[in-house]
DNA sequence: ATCATATAGTTGTTTATGCAACTATACAAA
DNA sequence: TTTGTATAGTTGCATAAACAACTATATGAT
């Protein structure tokens, strides 16, 4: 019986992810107020493309922890918004490489500023030591289940 | 500049809630394998009704951290599945009180067992001290943003 | 009693997720 | 080469979330 003193009332918030839901809503609100017209899901894809442009959809699946249909449709919508382009891979004709447009590149700094600000709002009053431990726990949970 | 040593690479997981996504997926999978035919969102509503039956939709909004349209449709689907009934309130005719059916009452213990098992899978190798701190941090984040 | 406002719930629209089924291409073994 | 299998991506369907606009009822001020 692992962690058997973990009480039910506490269980609920862990499972339902109220904290990350709250962060996501606030980030979306802050994007909107800053005039940034993307969803946080689209932002999470752009985030990985800013780190490395020209990734395949499969790579984006792994990076964003989403399945293939989700990425297909996020890329569809990002393409409609002129933020990315699909380019067929020359090595492997099954594969699309996704490239940022100029418009998307211009968004990077602005959105990262908003994201950092949002995180500061979220973590106000939390010590760095606490954050480190919370981060470790979330990583362990992810590793246990992924 | 609060928490200014909080690095970008770490930011991403916090915002995207990969850990709670992983827990939610695993719980859904465990429900399915146990023959429990509800979504985790429906379960989160039932969870609060098991604690107190006959709550209004508005109360369920606050309890589950969802907006009114989300609860309207979750209750719609729970009603279709014969798990709850809407009953018009006698005191306030604007308000619906939501009551569990026998079928839903029979689900409580089985789903709570699966949820506890899922949480044990998620938290394997995490100490109770770490869990306590993570829980505090998530609560503070929620309180900062809600 | 009347009127303004607040509250409870519903509906429509867009975006996203999860799952299964599908197409097309690559690759490896015979 | 052929054949079987794995991989990359798409499509269809059901469920859910976010937001705005809406209806109906309640409440408080005059």
Residue A79: pLDDT above 90?
A: yes
Q: Where are the beta strands (DSSP E) in B73-129?
A: 84-88, 96-100
Is the Cβ pair A123, B144 closer than 8 Å?
yes
Phi, psi at B84, each rounded to 5°: -140, 165
A96 domain-assigned? yes
Q: Tell me if A145 and B15 make a contact (CB, 8 A cut-off).
A: no
Residue A4 is assigned to a structural domain of this protein: no
Mean pLDDT of B68-84: 97
pLDDT at B125: 93
Tokens at A86, concatenated: 């699909």
Mean pLDDT of chain B: 91
In this structure, the number of other CB atoms found within 10 A of the CB of residue A146 comes to 12
Domain count, chain A: 1
Which residues on chain B are in Cβ contact (under 8 Å) with A133?
A: 130, 133-134, 137
The whole-number pLDDT of residue B16 equals: 81
- Residue B31 inside a domain? The answer is yes
Domain CATH for B24: 1.10.10.10
User: Helix (H, G, I), strand (E, B), or coil: what is residue B42?
Assistant: helix
Residue A146 covered by a domain: no
Q: Which residues of B119-140 are buried (b: 16+ CB within 10 A; e: fewer)?
A: bebbbeebeeebbebbbebbeb
Contact criterion met (CB < 8 Å) for B14 and A122: yes
Taking 70 as the threshold, does the pLDDT of residue B66 lie above it? yes
Q: What percent of chain A has pLDDT over 70?
A: 92
* Beta sheet of A55-56, edge-to-edge order: A55-56, A96-100, A84-88
Q: Report chain A's mean pLDDT, rounded to a whole number.
A: 91
Does residue A12 or residue B42 have the better pLDDT? B42
Distance from CA of A74 to the nearest CA of B (A): 15
Q: Is residue A15 part of a domain?
A: no
pLDDT in tens, A95-139: 999 999 999 999 999 999 999 999 999 999 999 999 999 999 999
pLDDT-derived band at A3 (thresholds 50, 70, 90) equals very low
- Place B3 in a pLDDT band, splitting at 50, 70 and 90: very low
Domain-embedded: residue B110 = yes
Query: Which pLDDT belongs to residue B146?
Result: 85
The answer as to whether B121 is a domain residue is: no
CB pairs under 8 A between A and B: 195
Structural domain span for residue B66: 12-115
Asked, for residue B42, whether it belongs to a domain, the answer is yes
* C-alpha to C-alpha distance for B63 and B49, rounded to whole angstroms: 10
Q: List the Cα angle A7/B42/B18 in 5-degree steps.
A: 65
Q: Do B123 and A26 touch (CB under 8 A)?
A: no
Distance from CA of A91 to the nearest CA of B (A): 30
Q: Which tokens in the block code for residue A94?
A: 């099954």
Q: Do strands B96-100 and B84-88 pair parallel, antiparallel, or not at all (unpaired)?
A: antiparallel
Q: Given this model, what pLDDT does residue A13 score?
A: 80
pLDDT at A10 (0 to 100):
64
Question: Considering only CB atoms, which chain A residues are within 8 Å of B120?
Answer: 1-3
């Amino acid at each position: 019986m692992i962690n058997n003193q973990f009480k039910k009332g506490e269980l609920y918030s862990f499972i339902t992810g109220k904290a990350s839901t709250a962060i996501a809503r606030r980030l979306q609100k802050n994007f909107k107020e800053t005039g940034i017209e993307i969803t946080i899901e689209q932002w999470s894809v752009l985030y990985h493309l800013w780190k490395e442009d020209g990734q395949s959809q499969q790579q984006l699946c792994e990076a964003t922890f989403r399945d293939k249909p989700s990425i297909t449709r996020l890329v569809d919508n990002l393409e409609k918004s002129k933020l990315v382009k699909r380019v067929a891979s020359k090595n492997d004709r099954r594969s699309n490489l996704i490239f940022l447009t100029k418009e998307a590149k211009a968004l990077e700094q602005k959105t990262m500023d908003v994201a950092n600000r949002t995180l500061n709002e979220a973590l106000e009053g939390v010590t760095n030591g606490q954050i480190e431990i919370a981060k470790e726990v979330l990583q362990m949970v992810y590793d246990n289940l992924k």
